[in-house]
Structure 1
Amino acid sequence: MSNALLDNLNPAGAYSDLAQLLRLRFAAQDLKLFAKRPVRSLLTGGERTRFRGRGIDFEEVRLYQPGDDIRTIDWRVTARTQVPHTKIFREERERPVFMVADQRATMFFGSQRCFKSVLCAHICALLGWAALGNSDRVGGLVFGDHTQRDIRPRRSKHAMLELLHQLQDYNHRLQSPIPPADGVKLVDILADTRRIAKPGCALFIVSDFHDFDAACEQQLFELARHTDVTLVHVFDPLERQLASNAILTISDGQSRCRIPANERRFQQAYHENYQKHLQDLTRSCQRLNLSLLSYATNDDIQHLLRERFGKNSPRRR
């Protein structure tokens, strides 16, 4: 695709556009998600793994062992060596792709180009189209402040369309960036994901992780035992660093406070709080050996995903 057309597919605005999410299938043609790790699923599919079984790709000939299928005996080698030998094949497996998309109130914020909730929808759409293009099953879990919707993984455009419709629906429900007191917590979503995500699937969790804590890390540990987990952290530049030469007005929806332009202590504490949160998230991923990607709302998300998942990307090799 031309660069001009790709630029038109970049996320923008406060709400996602379903037509644009559908067009992202063209931008996802250069993405291939799985080049690093073998999958763990026991189901057959298009991905090669370390598992050996009755596949179609010949691997080696070895001495016959009790329990081997007699149908795989290599009679030529057996006749030549006078010792029973059997053929070993490399079996293909599949790796279902499961998106967990955060569409809670705190995602309804953005100071440049788009809101975090819109960026989340675009990332899930790009990764989902890339997986479907690789003939993987695609499913997901989209959750808001009070409800959630599961999409059963299927190898069809209908599953992808259902995921996009749910992303669109939950995205357009957002009205305020202030989370409700009784809203769902990330730890509860991760615990429920353990019920939905089957062993061997690739799990992409896209969120701002504003309420990530030790309990969330424990749930990720349980998930990582049987699935390949990738965390995609989305943020806005204003969350990382406040403007230094402007009078700021902050509000919690009920009261309002003005911060003078020369008040450096508040800005420094604000920045340090963000850095600490990101460091805690990074250390948890390092302890659990999980992949962590971090993208801002003003990033060229298609370019960055092509760098990470592009077919010719050096990072994939």
Structure 2
Amino acid sequence: MAALAPERTLRRLELSVTRRLEGLLNGEHLGLIPGPGTELAEARVYQPGEDDVRHMDWAVTARTTTPHVRDLVADHELEAWALMDLTPSMDFGTGTMIKRELAVAALAAVGFLTVRLGDRVGAYLLRPDGMRRWPARTGKAAMYALLEAVLEADTGTGTGTLGGGPFGSRPAGTLAEGITSLDRGQKRRGLRVIISDFLPPADDPAPAAADTGHDGHRHEPPAWERPLRRLAARHQVLAIEIIDPRELDLPDVGLVEMTDPETGAVHEIVLNRKVRERYAAAAAAQRERTRAALRRCGSHHLVLRTDRDWIADVARFALRQRRAAGRAIATGGVRP
């Protein structure tokens, strides 16, 4: 995408979302996550293990002697806020795109499905030099402006194109600080989307509590878990994890020089079988800790990879969410 002019890039993104993704996710106001809403809809039979007992319709249940739940129609004119991780690690990629470009595609999927009915989308952009806030606006023009700003953002020295315009800024650096800023800055209930690779920085401070992993060892929970718990207690949270295949497994290429994009440190490493196996095990453990932490926070978790069809992955995720919510779905030819 970076090789294209921004306008062509964004138009292609919009076509992908509106033609492919929206065509697969038929519905009046259902997005990637069916919202709880406040407006009552029809009652239906309770599905054990899938429906929330808090939505039980006791009047219908008493009349029919069969447990029923009441569906809720999602509110209109909502605000969706996204936290975009634009730290240097997001400028890595060995698939069909780099991770930042895939993050832009994920934001476009959420944004275009949100603004189509007049809802507003805003964003917090987490960069090494601070936090940038893009105010919530409605319409395709505002969505184009936000996506173009993210595409052109400088993730290194902080001398990119985000210095002016409608942004406000204040110092921030870690994902935990970004989530805290989003939680404190936006109190109105709605959808909150965290788009990041969830890779911990080398100097990430470890919290006092710890959890036990599948390997039997005690692992410190990520620093962003506590603020994400607070965010998920009030809002509906979707965590989109951006992954590149080379972050999971390394090729057998012998001696290589590797650079940490966050710190700039360069190391010479011999990628023999033992090193590759240890790296793969550590990467799998890190992903499992991320998945477990997101589950403990009660947030929805979508994984997108730079070497996969992101449209199909988003559609499969949304279809699973609808099934879990007991909604009627249109198969549209996509197999979950």
**Displacement of 1:316 after TM fit?**
12
**Displacement of 1:133 after TM fit?**
1.5
> What is the aligned partner in structure 2 of residue 184 from structure 1?
173
Select between 220-229 and 182-191 the one with higher mean Cα deviation. Answer: 182-191
Alignment check: 8 A CA contact 1:152 1:159 kept: no
Q: Are the structure 2 counterparts of residues 240 and 18 from structure 1 closer, same or farther at C-alpha, using a change threshold of 3 Å?
A: farther
C-alpha distance in structure 1 between counterparts of 2:128 and 2:9, whole Å: 25
Given the alignment of the two structures, is residue 309 of structure 1 paired with residue 288 of structure 2, yes or no?
Answer: no
Alignment check: 8 A CA contact 2:83 2:125 kept: yes
> What is the aligned partner in structure 1 of residue 183 from structure 2?
194
Alignment check: 8 A CA contact 1:249 1:258 kept: yes
Alignment check: 8 A CA contact 1:306 1:313 kept: no
Letter in 1 for 2:268: C
Given the alignment of the two structures, is residue 218 of structure 1 paired with residue 229 of structure 2, yes or no?
Answer: no
Q: Are the structure 2 counterparts of residues 295 and 249 from structure 1 closer, same or farther at C-alpha, using a change threshold of 3 Å?
A: same
Task: Give CA deviations for 1:134-180 in whole Å, capped at 9, x if unaligned.
Answer: 3321111122111232122222234313311321231xx2359xxxx
Aligned ranges 1:256-275 → 2 under 5 Å: 256-260=267-271, 263-275=272-284
**Displacement of 1:292 after TM fit?**
0.7
Task: Give CA deviations for 1:205-261 in whole Å, capped at 9, x if unaligned.
Answer: 11101128543111011101111101000011001000135543324545441415x
Alignment check: 8 A CA contact 2:131 2:173 kept: no
> What is the aligned partner in structure 1 of residue 16 from structure 2?
27
Task: Give CA deviations for 1:276-303 in whole Å, capped at 9, x if unaligned.
Answer: 1111111112222211111111111122
Scaled by the length of structure 1, the TM-score of the pair is 0.70
> What is the aligned partner in structure 2 of residue 63 from structure 1?
none
C-alpha distance in structure 2 between counterparts of 1:114 and 1:22, whole Å: 17
Alignment check: 8 A CA contact 2:87 2:126 kept: yes
Task: Give CA deviations for 1:31-84 in whole Å, capped at 9, x if unaligned.
Answer: 355375444xxxxxxxxx2456xxxx899xxxxxxxxxxxxxxxxxxxxxxxxx
Aligned with residue 151 of structure 2, among 168, 178, 182: 168
> What is the aligned partner in structure 2 of residue 106 from structure 1?
89
SS of 1:215's equivalent in the other structure is coil
C-alpha distance in structure 2 between counterparts of 1:36 and 1:251, whole Å: 37
C-alpha distance in structure 1 between counterparts of 2:96 and 2:178, whole Å: 28
Alignment check: 8 A CA contact 1:247 1:258 kept: yes
Given the alignment of the two structures, is residue 134 of structure 1 paired with residue 117 of structure 2, yes or no?
Answer: yes
C-alpha distance in structure 1 between counterparts of 2:156 and 2:5, whole Å: 13
Letter in 1 for 2:179: L
- Unaligned runs of at least 5 residues, structure 2: 44-71, 158-170, 202-220, 320-328
C-alpha distance in structure 2 between counterparts of 1:105 and 1:58, whole Å: 48
SS of 2:234's equivalent in the other structure is coil
- Identity between Structure 1 and Structure 2 (%): 20
SS of 1:225's equivalent in the other structure is helix
Task: Give CA deviations for 1:82-140 in whole Å, capped at 9, x if unaligned.
Answer: xxxxxxxx887233221211111011111122111111111111221111123321111
Letter in 2 for 1:23: R
> What is the aligned partner in structure 1 of residue 75 from structure 2?
93
> What is the aligned partner in structure 1 of residue 161 from structure 2?
none
- Unaligned runs of at least 5 residues, structure 1: 1-11, 40-48, 60-89, 177-181
> What is the aligned partner in structure 2 of residue 45 from structure 1?
none
C-alpha distance in structure 2 between counterparts of 1:121 and 1:189, whole Å: 18
Select between 247-256 and 296-305 the one with higher mean Cα deviation. Answer: 247-256
C-alpha distance in structure 1 between counterparts of 2:88 and 2:186, whole Å: 25
Alignment check: 8 A CA contact 1:308 1:316 kept: no
C-alpha distance in structure 1 between counterparts of 2:233 and 2:242, whole Å: 25
Q: Are the structure 2 counterparts of residues 204 and 14 from structure 1 closer, same or farther at C-alpha, using a change threshold of 3 Å?
A: farther
Letter in 2 for 1:188: E
> What is the aligned partner in structure 1 of residue 139 from structure 2?
156
SS of 1:238's equivalent in the other structure is helix
C-alpha distance in structure 1 between counterparts of 2:32 and 2:240, whole Å: 18
Q: Are the structure 2 counterparts of residues 316 and 135 from structure 1 closer, same or farther at C-alpha, using a change threshold of 3 Å?
A: farther
Alignment check: 8 A CA contact 1:307 1:313 kept: no
Alignment check: 8 A CA contact 2:93 2:306 kept: yes
